[in-house]
Amino acid sequence: MHRQLVHDKEKIYFILCLIVSIIIYFLLIFSIVGIIVLILGLFISWWTHGLIMGSIRRNGVRLTEKQYPDIHKKAAKMIEEMDLIRLPHIFIVQSEGALNAFATRFFGRNFVVLYSNIVEIAAEGHDEELQFVIAHELAHIKQNHIVKNILILPAMWVPYLGSAYSRACEYTCDRMASAYIKNEQAAVHALGVLAVGTPLSINLNVKEYIATSMRETGLFVWMSEKLSTHPPLPKRIKAVQNFYTYPESYGVPASFLHSTQQTISFDK
């Protein structure tokens, strides 16, 4: 089913990014300075990423059968149902109040990193919200977004183009996570937590949040969205709501989202 859930613009922007990247690679190959810049840039990116991941692996808390077993069990179930070939290591890191999570890859190994404040929503009785967040990051791995980003790295530096592809990927992963948990309220609440934090999200008027956000216009508002790697949260919430309202248009039977027995198939 996962092919139907891929955002149309993700496919289009990936092809554009691939073409642009091939052109840039081709031009750099025929320039000594270009080759040096390319190798240096790749090495710096790899080295910096390695140091970050080294710190996370050393200081972060990895989910295991003995470490937060409830979360680990549910994450393992997601991994199995998403048919991921290489099992990612999932770490929780102290975030100093930041609300986020991300998927990454280093030396052929996949990782999911959860900021502690995101994980706390499960401790407050919002288990499916956390499942949405984890499923979203696992969807990045399922779609090979991390590997693709390395392949089209030059295009990711092109203003507007790379960020447009990244935003489309986020919409794809929101759809996949929504299809997995089959709970609109939890999916919307999870995104609401990213907007205002856990305590305030309980009383967030989602309809008003979306409406007031759409009234915010102007050059810098427009540019901030187009240069961002993530869509505005109100737009992500609206897209999730549309997915649950019109699932058939995404190739998902309406009965599927209301079933507690079926599990999503992420067949290749």
pLDDT digits 0-9 by tens, 159-200: 899 999 999 999 999 999 999 999 999 999 999 988 888 788
Residue 40 parent element (H or E): helix 32-59
Q: pLDDT band at 13, cuts 50/70/90? A: very high
* Distance (Å, whole) CA 258 – CA 245: 12
Domain positions in the chain: 2-257
Phi (first) and psi of residue 92, to 5 degrees: -110, 130
pLDDT tens per residue across span 46-75: 888 889 889 889 999 999 999 999 999 989
In angstroms, the CA 253 to CA 258 distance is: 9
Residue 41, Cβ neighbours under 10 Å: how many? 14
* Strand pairing category for 109-115 and 61-62: unpaired
pTM: 0.88
One-letter identity of residue 236: R
